Homo-oligomer: A and B are copies of this chain.
C-alpha cells in the first residue's frame, strides 16, 4: 500500500468509527503533513482518494469536510426497475456506427471503449517481445496451439492463487482477447433459440453475440453500485429456462458497479441451484481503487459452472489480443471450439506475456495504472460537477475507467451524440447498452485518457450542448 493510500485508510477508519463525523472539518494539508510526518503531496492524494470515494468534500477557500452529500451533483439513483423481458436483439447497427466514430484519432475519445494505450508499459513489453521474437523455439508454433502456451497459462493460474483461490492450469484456455473467450463460452452452452440472462444496461458485445447467434436476451435490472438484482434474476430463472447468464461482476461496463462479495456468493449459489452456467466477464477487475482486487464470482464456484473470462487488453497489453477463460467443466468443449474456429492465439504474443509476467513488475505497473485512472476519474468528476446542468446524476465507480451519467429529464442521448460528433467529440449514448434501447437519457464517458485541456474543453462543450437536446 502506498503512503497516501495508508493515510486515506486511516482517515476513512476515523469516519467509519465516528471519530470524525459529518460536517467535521479535516486538518489542512499543511497541518496533516506535519502531524502525519508525510509530505504535502501525499496528503493531497489521500484527500483526493477520500473525495473520490465520497467520504469527504472540498469547499473552495475553506477546506476539506467529512461528507454528507454536499456534492453539487447527486450520485446516480437506481434505474427504474423494468420487468425482465424476453426479447430478440437488434442493436448492432447502432453500435457499429458509434464505434466507428471513436476510431478516428482527431475525435476526442469520451465515447471510446479503450483506455489510452499510453498508460501501458509498452517499452518493456516491446523489449520483451524483441527478445522472445529472436529466440523463439520454432516448434512452439505447434506447442502453443490451443489450449495455449503452458507458461502463460501457469502464470495466469498463479495470479488466481494470489487473488485467493485456485484454478487448475488445465481449465485455462488462451483466447484472442476476452471477446473471443466470451463468444466461445456462449457457443459452448447455447444453441439458437435459447435465452440468455444479461444485466441491464449491459456491455453491447453481449447484445451483439446474442443477436448473431439467434438467441433471446432476458434483461435483468442492475444497480449502479452493486450490480444485478438477484431477486429479479431468481424470478427469471424460475420463469424462463435460460441457457446461461452473462454478466460483469467487477466495474461493470457501462455502470461501473461492483458486486459485493456476499452478493457474488449468492449469485453463484442461485445459478448452481438452477444449474445455469455463468459467463463472467472480468476484464476490469485489476483496475480497482480500493484495498485489494475484488474477487470474481469464479472464486465461489464449487461446481465448475462459472466460466471466468479476462484479458490483458485493458490492464497491460492493448493490441496484443491475448485473453483467456478459466472454463471449469466447459474447458474441453471450449478448447475444441477454439481449435476449429481460430485454432490458436499467436505464439509470439503468448510467449511475450508469459515472459513479462515471469519477470516481475506487473503489479508495480498495475499500481501506477490504478493511481492514474483514479486521479483522472477525480478530475472528470470535478469538472462535470462544475459545468454539467442541474438534474445530472452520475456514478463514482470504485474502479475501471467509465462514468455512467443520467442527464436531465428528457435529454436525447442519441441526438446529443450526433451533435457532439459533428464537433469532434465522441460519447457513448445509453441506448447502445440495452436490447430494448432503453437509457435514452444516459451516456457513458471514458476517463481512461490523459487529462488534457482538450478533454477538459470537450467536457465543457458537452455540458453546453445538453440543454439543446432536452425534448
Contact = CB atoms under 8 A, between A and B. Distances in A.
A116 to B, nearest CB: 8
B136 A122 contact: yes
A340 to B, nearest CB: 4
Interface residues of A, number: 62
Interface stretch (A41-49, A50-58, A316-324, A439-447): A316-324
A421 interface: no
A133 interface: yes
Contacts of A347: 319-321
A192 B213 CA distance: 10
B141 A319 contact: yes
Interface string A107-127: 000000010011010110111
Contacts of A138: 117-118, 120, 122
A291 interface: no
Nearest to A208: B340
Contact of A342 (B127, B177, B319, B352): B177
With most chain B CB atoms within 10 A of its CB, the pick from A134, A140, A142 is A142
Contacts of A412: none
B209 A340 contact: yes
Main secondary structure of the interface of A (DSSP, over half): helix
Nearest to A183: B341
Contacts of A156: none
A176 B133 contact: no
Interface string A25-39: 000000000000000
Given A126-B136, A136-B126, A348-B349, A341 B179 contact: yes
Nearest to A96: B336
B340 A319 contact: no
Contacts of A345: 176, 321
Interface string A208-245: 11001010000000000000000000000000000000
22 contacts: A103-B142, A105-B139, A117-B139, A117-B141, A120-B138, A122-B136, A126-B135, A129-B129, A129-B130, A130-B131, A130-B133, A133-B352, A176-B342, A179-B340, A187-B212, A191-B214, A192-B192, A321-B342, A321-B345, A322-B346, A348-B348, A349-B349
Interface of A: 92, 96, 99, 103, 105, 114, 117-118, 120, 122-123, 125-127, 129-131, 133-136, 138-145, 175-177, 179-180, 183, 187, 191-192, 205, 208-209, 212, 214, 318-322, 336-337, 339-349, 352
Q: Which 8 A-B pairs have the closest CB atoms?
A: A141-B319, A130-B130, A319-B347, A129-B133, A117-B138, A141-B318, A208-B340, A176-B342
